[in-house]
């Protein structure tokens, strides 16, 4: 459970940093707010790994898995996707309350 809480904090950090990066031009008055999708960041940072992942998914599964399914998820705004992942991992990694039941 500790690993899921750690992942939740990392995903929340990525969500906040990407939100600040996208909102900075609007807050400075130099441009409008543009939310960058995950695939946009991936294309900018590592285009070769994106092409390799695309080819690996198309080779290992059906070709329709990459185009409508994975690209629709990767097309989401980065703060939205990583915020949802943070909430999901935080929910699964939460500390559960132990109930002690004593029968008399």
Task: Please report, for residues 3, 34, 66, the alpha-carbon distance to residue 84 in angstroms, rounded to integers and kept in the order given.
Answer: 17, 19, 21
What the block records as the tokens of 78 is: 């980065």
pLDDT at 49 over 80: yes
Cβ–Cβ under 8 Å, residues 94 and 7 = no
| Separation of alpha carbons 16 and 21, rounded Å | 9
| Tokens coding 15 | 């969500």
pLDDT at 59: 93
Phi, psi (deg, nearest 5) at residue 77: -65, 140
User: Is pLDDT above 80 for 53?
Assistant: yes
Q: Is the pLDDT reported for residue 88 higher than 80? A: yes
pTM, two decimal places: 0.83
Q: Give the model's confidence band at 78: pLDDT under 50 very low, under 70 low, under 90 confident, else very high.
A: very high
pLDDT for the residue numbered 100: 83
């Amino acid at each position: 459970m500790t690993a899921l809480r750690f992942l939740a904090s990392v995903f929340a950090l990525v969500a906040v940093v990407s939100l600040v990066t996208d909102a900075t031009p609007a807050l400075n008055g130099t441009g409008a707010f543009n939310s960058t999708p995950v695939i946009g960041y991936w294309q900018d940072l590592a285009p070769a790994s994106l092409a390799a992942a695309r080819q690996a998914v198309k080779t290992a599964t059906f070709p329709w898995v990459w185009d409508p399914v994975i690209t629709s998820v990767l097309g989401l705004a980065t703060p939205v996707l990583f915020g949802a992942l943070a909430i999901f991992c935080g929910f699964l990694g939460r500390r559960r309350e132990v109930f002690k039941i004593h029968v008399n």
